[in-house]
Amino acid sequence: MRYQLGTDQIPEAWFNVAAHLPEPPAPPIHPGTGNPVGPEDLAPLFPMALIGQEVSTAAWVDIPGEVLDVLALWRPTPLVRARRLERALDTPARIYYKDESVSPAGSHKPNTAVPQVFYNKVEGITRIATETGAGQWGSALAYACQTFGLDCQIYMVAASYHQKPYRRVLIETWGGHVVPSPSDRTEAGRTVLKRDPDCSGSLGIAISEAVEDAATRPDTHYSLGSVLNHVLLHQTVIGLEAKRQLEQAGEGLPDVVIGSCGGGSNLAGIALPFVPHRSEGVRLVAVEPSACPTLTAGRYEYDFGDEAGMTPKLLMYTLGHGFIPPPIHAGGLRYHGDAPIICNLVKNGWMQAIAYPQGKVFEAAIQFARTQGPVPAPETAHAIRGAIDEALAAREAGQERVILFNYSGHGLLDLGAYDDFLHGRLVDV
């Protein structure tokens, strides 16, 4: 059963959780001065509108009409009751998922790529640079740039560029320019290549290249796909729609809201609008890979956002900015830190975090595909594992429970991982 809102029912404002957090957000710290970062520090990289959203305490932030027009190409996304999965689990729980895989890029990422590109365009920027690992973020940004007529330059980790060509092709189909990183286009890239001409790259190097590209060209800004407050803000359309759709389904509030957590943006998107309902018993759950257990085994302290140590420091759970996670298939969850807003909630006990090895995660993905049909992204399958275990717990307890999770993206460009799992080549690391 799917619950579908009309295109006139897309939320017209983003929900800002700032005023509802257990403790006030800690400011980013300038890596050179040790002082809080000010708007002027960020201005070479981001438009003022986004810098303003980063520190806004307004309860709601209006979504511009031009952004709504584009979001309406796939939003509101469906809320689906997973009855066949419920039946297979023989659970009294009712499982709902919000299907963010229906966007052109196949994930929740365009929800923030579109407004980010829009605000840049309004401020006269004509070109955006970013980094991408496996390509989820890069493809979403290329799509958004194409929509508003901006150039898009993407530094893609060289290993992924060569081994996972499909998302590179997606970027190019939408007119984006993509080079393997390290590249000879930047000082940062050339330095690495001089040291190691065969370097297969890392997200840290790619970030350095994209930031340098943006900082050294007046027509160009930088764009980030997760972690920062304004990115999480843009994703709240997910939870706001889900709330209305649960009402449409005759449900009150959910008992538990679940999302996978890499940088935190898809989790924030579905969970933040439910933070004010914590007192009414809504539990929030972050699911991460045990191979990169930031929230469950990291330390809560100021750390750099990138591996190279060039960005402002953020107060968050971190495994250390030098942490290199093993090469699990959920590439989007391989991040040493997490969004400060998510960490704030977890630190104060307002959100629970659990970690799973990838074998258990792929078992859940297969069970979902064989009951409901769609094949989830490996990242998304973490949330599915969490939802299935909640449903099994409800059966044990003999309780009806309403479970809501974010189906953040499809796995059609990740079928190599399924091939490994189905043929016994996937190992838990």
**Residues near a copy of itself (CB under 8 A):** 1-2, 4, 6-7, 72-74, 84, 102-104, 106, 143, 146-147, 165-166, 169-170, 172-175, 366, 369-370, 372-375, 412-413, 415-416, 418-419, 422
**Coil, strand or helix at 181:** strand
Nearest distance from C-beta of residue 183 to a copy of itself, angstroms: 18
Nearest distance from C-beta of residue 301 to a copy of itself, angstroms: 41
Nearest distance from C-beta of residue 376 to a copy of itself, angstroms: 10
Name the residue nearer to a copy of itself (CB basis): 99 or 255: 99
At a CB cut-off of 8 Å and minimum separation 6, what does 8 contact?
none
**Torsion sign, CA atoms 352, 357, 359, 365:** positive
Nearest distance from C-beta of residue 372 to a copy of itself, angstroms: 7
Name the residue nearer to a copy of itself (CB basis): 4 or 348: 4
Nearest distance from C-beta of residue 197 to a copy of itself, angstroms: 24
Task: Enumerate the H helices of 123-202 as residue ranges.
Answer: 136-148, 158-163, 165-173, 187-195
Cα dihedral angle (163, 311, 136, 168), rounded to 10 degrees?
-40
User: Over the Cα atoms of the chain, what is R_g?
Assistant: 20
Q: Could you give phi then psi for residue 411, rounded to 5 degrees?
A: -110, 20
Name the residue nearer to a copy of itself (CB basis): 335 or 362: 362
Name the residue nearer to a copy of itself (CB basis): 195 or 423: 423
**Structure tokens belonging to residue 101:** 């895989």
Residue pair 261/286 in contact (Cβ under 8 Å)? The answer is yes
Long-range (24+ apart) CB contacts under 8 A made by 299-305 are 300/343, 300/347, 302/29, 303/336, 303/337, 304/31, 305/207, 305/227, 305/337
Give me the amino acid identity at 332: G
Name the residue nearer to a copy of itself (CB basis): 229 or 245: 245
Nearest distance from C-beta of residue 168 to a copy of itself, angstroms: 8
d(CA 33, CA 410): 43
Nearest distance from C-beta of residue 373 to a copy of itself, angstroms: 3
Name the residue nearer to a copy of itself (CB basis): 73 or 397: 73
Question: What kind and span of H or E run contains 269?
Answer: helix 265-271
Question: What kind and span of H or E run contains 13?
Answer: strand 13-15
Nearest distance from C-beta of residue 341 to a copy of itself, angstroms: 29
Task: Enumerate the H helices of 95-253 as residue ranges.
Answer: 110-122, 136-148, 158-163, 165-173, 187-195, 203-215, 229-235, 237-248
Name the residue nearer to a copy of itself (CB basis): 203 or 413: 413
d(CA 224, CA 216): 17
Name the residue nearer to a copy of itself (CB basis): 268 or 361: 361
Name the residue nearer to a copy of itself (CB basis): 255 or 379: 379
**Structure tokens belonging to residue 150:** 């901006």
Q: Could you give phi then psi for residue 167, rounded to 5 degrees?
A: -70, -30
Name the residue nearer to a copy of itself (CB basis): 356 or 418: 418
Nearest distance from C-beta of residue 381 to a copy of itself, angstroms: 12
Nearest distance from C-beta of residue 78 to a copy of itself, angstroms: 9
d(CA 14, CA 6): 18
